[in-house]
Amino acid sequence: MVCLSSLVGSKESHVAYNAAAALGLGVAGALRERMLKDPRILRRLEVVGRWPGPAVASRKSSTQPFHILSFLADIGIRRGDPGIEDVAAIVLDTMDERSMPLLPSREGVMGWAFCDAPTTLYALARMGFEDPRIAAGIDFIASKVGAQGCGCTVSPSFGSWRGPGRAGDPCPYATMAVLRLLSVAPEGREAPLRSCAATLLGLWEQSRHLHPYIFYMGDDFRKLKLPNFWYDILAVADALSLSPAGRDDPRFKEILSLILAKEGGDGFYPETTYLPWKDFDFGQKKLPSEWMAFFILRLASRTSPPRGSPRSA
């Protein structure tokens, strides 16, 4: 059975650092320096350093810079780390009047959608950036949350485009991304946060019947996959676990129990992967992934202390 203390010795630099940091060990600083020198991390920093990158062909693509930025935030890249200040400055300088980060589209116009802007803002907030434009962007997004979470909201530059769903339906992925964002900046935004959590939990409860915008919670959804870029069980569980509105609900505990039941004697095996991430241990399916183990232990720690550690944030 995997515990945090065993992950401190991981060969995966980001795993060792995060495990040591969660345990409050003095070695965490040195392990963080090792992570910052990891060639795989440096390659991802180089990608986001070319922000905003090429035109967005698919927001599901795991090579999108905004997804990579969120991964870097989740492993502990912070304000002040090499190159990140420059990336944040570019993001902030390319916002529109609503404080939404703009990305290039294949149609040749700059714009945003609720399946990218909340993730970008989440990454900046998680990295510790504080700027009135970030707060304004979060407020704008929160203002668009209704009783059923978020619809397919896009920038005016995209015209009447929206995803394959009815106008009154919630977009499950956008709702998840917005919940994750609001959970790192909840002050004064508790009502929309609760709405997003309730929507996702309701979709889980009705997973065999409700599939708005063709987002299913079926067999493929329930496979373990990282990074948590798209709409699958680890991504939804992570977003729900970040606030009491999600993690205190019995339906979240049902999701978590399903995840924990997948642990084998030597850990958690990825059940599906993103090919561009095959250089990480969660990018293959033949061996247990230590980052997946840490990720799931962190999920569990938000409701109860993880094995081998004090309660972590």
- Give the pLDDT confidence of 147-167 residue by residue, as tens digits: 999 988 899 998 877 777 777
Q: Tokens for 300, please give them.
A: 């569990």
Tell the residue number behind the tokens 């304004």, with chain if given: 136
- Using 50, 70 and 90 to split pLDDT, how confident is the model at 313? very low
Query: What is the C-alpha separation between 57 and 68, in angstroms, rounded?
Result: 15
How far is residue 196 from each of residues 33, 222, 284, 311, measured CA to CA in Å?
A: 37, 20, 32, 25
Query: Does 127 have pLDDT greater than 60?
Result: yes
User: Which residues are CB-contacts of 89 (< 8 A; sequence separation ≥ 6)?
Assistant: none
- Between 47 and 210, name the one with better pLDDT: 47
For 79, other C-beta atoms within 10 Å of its C-beta total 13
User: Which residues are CB-contacts of 188 (< 8 A; sequence separation ≥ 6)?
Assistant: none
- Using 50, 70 and 90 to split pLDDT, how confident is the model at 307? low
Residue 105 phi, psi dihedral angles, 5° rounding: -110, 165
Residue 97 phi, psi dihedral angles, 5° rounding: -70, -15
Side-chain-side CA neighbours of residue 147 (13 Å): 1
- Using 50, 70 and 90 to split pLDDT, how confident is the model at 305? low
Q: What end-to-end distance do the CA atoms of the chain give, in Å?
A: 22
pLDDT of residue 164: 77
**3-state DSSP assignment of residue 146:** strand
Per-chain mean pLDDT for the chain:
94
Q: What percent of the chain has pLDDT over 90?
A: 86
Query: What is the C-alpha separation between 302 and 284, in angstroms, rounded?
Result: 27
Residue 78 zone, left/alpha/beta (φ > 0; ψ -120 to 50; rest): beta
Query: Does 310 have pLDDT greater than 70?
Result: no
Region 161-176 average pLDDT: 84
Region 122-132 average pLDDT: 97
Region 11-27 average pLDDT: 98
- Percent helix, strand, coil in the chain, to 5, is 50, 5, 45
Pair 33, 41: CB distance under 8 Å? no
- Could you report the per-residue pLDDT of 234-288, keeping only the tens digit for each? 999 999 999 999 999 999 999 999 999 999 999 999 999 999 999 999 999 999 9
pLDDT of residue 7: 97
Query: What is the C-alpha separation between 86 and 92, in angstroms, rounded?
Result: 10
Q: What percent of the chain has pLDDT over 70?
A: 96
